[in-house]
Amino acid sequence: MVLWTFVARRDSAAHKKAILIAPAVARLLFVHASFAFLTFVDLFLAFLIIFGLWCRRSLHRMTFVGVPLTICWQLIYPLLARSPGMSYVLAWLQSK
């Protein structure tokens, strides 16, 4: 998502939308994804969709792609967090 934000910097509207969505995705990496936190992120995404439909009468392509990617990440995150590979990586990082 961060790379996509960097690539979209020439299109100011896309860049602004990605800047709004990217921190929500990045925080999922470092915060224990509790139900309250995921609800807050989903409410933020819902308001982003409502605002886009209200102001533009259509969704911007960055919103159209970024929101489903965020929701997919929310679904995949618990599986990755409990995987043996993640346990190995964390043990390796703690040994350094």
Give pTM, 2 decimals: 0.55
How many domains is the chain built from? 1
pLDDT score recorded for residue 37: 73
Q: What is the pLDDT of residues 58-85, one digit of tens each?
A: 887 778 888 888 888 888 877 887 788 8
Domain holding 22, by residue range, is 2-95
Task: Name the packing angle between helices 61-81 and 12-30 (round to 10°).
Answer: 10
Q: In this predicted structure, what is the pLDDT of residue 28?
A: 58
d(CA 28, CA 41): 9
For 7-44, the pLDDT digits (tens) are 666 677 776 777 677 666 666 555 566 777 778 778 88
